[in-house]
Amino acid sequence: MILSDLHMHSTYSLDGNNTIADLCEQAIRLGLTHIAVTDHVEWPPNGAHQRPDYDRYFAEIRQCQARFAPRGLTLLSGLELGNPHEHRADVDALLASYDFDVVVGSLHWLAGQNIHDTRCFGDQDPYEIYARYFGQLAQIAATVDCDIIAHFDRIFWPGTSRFGPPQIERIETPVRDAMRALAEHGRVLELNTRFLTHEPGWNDTLLTVLRWYGEAGGQFVAVNSDTHRAAEIGRHRAIGQEIVEAAGCTPYVWQATAALT
């Protein structure tokens, strides 16, 4: 069983609901050995830049590391960068200022639209939106110094809700191009477990993408919960592990992968 969860949000994120200590306590209850608290750094289209107070964040990280390490938990610092390829100067300055253990790169906005919302598709062909989305993920992989690329699966959530499970072969070229970019630049692909159930039937699509990632030379897949509440930690990780292994990939283990890079 996977014993890590390297993408979660505390109260240092605007949408986080639990403290770092709360997340640590829940992780220990579940038997996890490694977690990363990767709070949001965002540049929303409305101009309201979001980032934690990192002096306070790192002070709390250090306190919790001292508190929970004797109980068998490795707590890692981190952040999730939203659309980082569009804000390179800010991202480079931030990464130069702090020593983060885990850097997650994500795409949350596409042409100014929130990709969590079905309205991001507008009246356009959904496959054009899918293709554009994966093109942007390829840019993040190629240009931003991050460890993990998250949310390849995120665009399928509103898409499936509105149009049904995608016919993944219709966007094979842009998806394969994105997977190749991840592999060539040494990025780890994340499988987000938030809605990773057997309904509404997109697991076969996710499995296909992971296989293409493996065929492109990718190996490691981080099975993460993208937790915003402590109760969400580790959710559906058994299903995630099943899909990753069926694709012929290896679940990401932080120490082993760090040693490789």
Identify which of 9, 21, 73, 81 has the alpha carbon closest to the alpha carbon of residue 233. 9
Residues sharing a CB contact under 8 Å with residue 32, sequence separation 6 or more, in sequence order: 3, 4, 5, 73, 233, 234
Q: Furthest-apart CA pair in the chain: how many Å?
A: 55
Q: What percentage of the chain has pLDDT greater than the value 70?
A: 96
Contact 37, 20 (CB under 8 A): yes
Amino acid at 150: A
Architecture of domain 4-260: Alpha-Beta Barrel (3.20)
Q: Cα(first)–Cα(last) distance of the chain, in Å?
A: 24
- Tell whether the model's pLDDT for residue 113 goes beyond 90: yes
4 burial level (CB within 10 Å; 0-12, 13-18, 19+): buried
The residue assigned the tokens 């159930």 is 197
Q: Helix H segments across 148-236?
A: 156-163, 172-184, 203-215
For range 109-117, the mean pLDDT: 93
For 118-153, how does the pLDDT look when each residue is reduced to its tens digit (9 = 90+)? 999 999 999 999 999 999 999 999 999 999 999 999
Amino acid 256: pLDDT: 45
Give the pLDDT band (50/70/90) at residue 258.
very low
Give pTM, 2 decimals: 0.95
Alpha-carbon gap, residue 94 to 178, rounded angstroms: 25
Identify which of 225, 224, 223, 218 has the alpha carbon closest to the alpha carbon of residue 249. 218
For 43-93, how does the pLDDT look when each residue is reduced to its tens digit (9 = 90+)? 998 888 899 999 999 999 999 999 999 999 999 999 999 999 999 999 999
DSSP state of 78: E
What is the residue extent of each domain of the chain?
A: 4-260
For range 30-34, the mean pLDDT: 96
